[in-house]
Amino acid sequence: MPLPSRVEAIVSSIVIVHPREIPALLHSSLCFFFVLSAYFVILPLRDEGAISLGLGNLPSLFVGSLLLTLIAAPLTTTIFSVPNISKGRALVFIHRFFSISLLLFFVSWHASSRERSGPSSEVSASYTTPSEENSNLSAVEDKINPSSGWGNHGLLYVSVRVLLFLWVALMNLITVSSTWARVIDIMDNESGSRLFGFIGAGATFGQLFGSLFAAGMAWLGPYLLLFSALLMELAAQSAKGIYFENGQESEELSLIRDETSAVHVEANEIETPRSKASSSNSQESMVKPHMCVILEGLYLIMKSAYLRYVSTFLGLSAVISSFFYFQKVTIIASSTASSLGRRKLFAEINSLIAVFILVGQLTLTARILTFAGVTTAICAAPVVAFSNLIVIAIWPTWIAVAVSEILRKVNTYVVTRPGRELLFTVVSEEEKYKAKICIDVIVQRLGDATAAGMFKLLFGTLKESVSMISLAILPFCVIWFCIAFHLGQRQSHLAKVLSGSIT
């Protein structure tokens, strides 16, 4: 049996897929594999670098990430709007750009390490027991002061680690959002329900590989940046194959693109000359090469009630996720005094998460999205977050953090993330590339910055108690659930209307 036939048979045994879809499916999955591998290889290095600057400075780093995103997001949408450059080529350019940037960070990191003052913190890893963690937590909290950390290092040392923290966060958002935008552009609601789980499994394999590599090779330190750069270049090569075999969309998908704008006119109960012409002028509107394209994305969000709900849902998701991040870093920093040990612990938790996610994506995602529907998929996120916050409030240890992170991430990538991407299968092409990237990037960062400010305020107001902070966030989970339920119902309705209009 020829190799292509074998590959087709293996893929078909795992997921329900049509022969025409297999090349794009495999390249999409590979692209996500390399992108997530690159991210998780350097994630522990990034987090340890941030810890070395003082935990109290983490909220400020999230605000800085927002400012960087406000600059980068318009550039990303403009790249997708440049005339005579296909969406596929634009995606390749984005991945390659980040690959080169990681090489520059490797050089900068080495230069800055020579400037570091004070003795090295690289000592043997020493994990503590839960009872010791509670006593050590106070010592860690003493460090959580806005003025701590920065003055202990040289300017170049601080600058490189701050920029790497901001850049890695930006890389993750831009590359993942852009790749998903390309994937959903060649798939509709039906094919997405079947195939997003398999594509997500590629990302999970990437997380597993990257995390295991980072855990086993933590001693490499900044040399992990070189390996991450190579992985991003491989992602760029894989992105070239995300298209249909004949290079064009099928007639069915072309019809879907044409009908989508009409669906949104009904959904918003508004019919303007712009909305009437959106389907016929979609390609024309996508080729405006100017920096104000991000404003068009914001305009599309503001005029669509559906997209406003999507933005609110993802904004609250970012707020809750950021709170979990602050709690995770605070508690893990108290679990070991070694920077090498912290990198290993971060990587080991990420590895466990990846294993459970992978099993779930290959066995549950397609079934949940097909039978339970989008509403169940996106409502699961606030329910799991609510439960995790209660657990951390009762038992603020690194074990509780690890278990909560596993549950939260497994639910996110097995259920919620694929369901979230289905939210965009009922919008127009213009909204996918302009509004979606704006939502994924700017709304995400606004949520992060909001969480950073709230965490800093609550940490001081609630006497630096991680447990009390967890309880204070519970009302946000309730609001998040209500919005998710309404949004899921709306997406299901739009999908039915769209399907009915085609048939």
Nearest to 354 by CA among 397, 346, 129, 112: 346
pLDDT along the chain (503 residues), means of 10: 62 71 84 93 85 74 77 71 76 92 91 58 38 40 43 77 88 85 74 74 84 84 91 93 57 38 35 34 39 71 88 90 82 72 78 78 68 82 91 84 85 79 78 73 78 79 74 91 92 79 51
Cα separations (Å) of 427 from 181, 187, 257, 481?
12, 12, 8, 22
Distance CA 118, CA 272 (A): 64
CB atoms within 10 A of CB 309: 18
Contacts (Cβ under 8 Å, ≥6 apart) of 459? 144, 469
Q: What pLDDT shows up at residue 4?
A: 60
Instruction: Please tell me whether the overall predicted TM-score, pTM, comes out greater than 0.85 for this model.
Output: no
Q: What pLDDT shows up at residue 493?
A: 85
Q: What are the extents of the domains in the chain?
A: 18-117+144-502
Q: What pLDDT shows up at residue 266?
A: 37
Burial class (CB in 10 A: 0-12, 13-18, 19+), 3: exposed
Q: What pLDDT shows up at residue 98?
A: 94
CB atoms within 10 A of CB 254: 11
Which CATH architecture best describes the domain 18-117+144-502? Up-down Bundle (1.20)
Distance CA 220, CA 159 (A): 21
Q: What pLDDT shows up at residue 232?
A: 95
Q: DSSP letters of 192-228?
A: HHHHHHHHHHHHHHHHHHHHHHHHHTGGGGGGHHHHH
| DSSP 3-state of 142 | helix
Q: What pLDDT shows up at residue 250?
A: 40
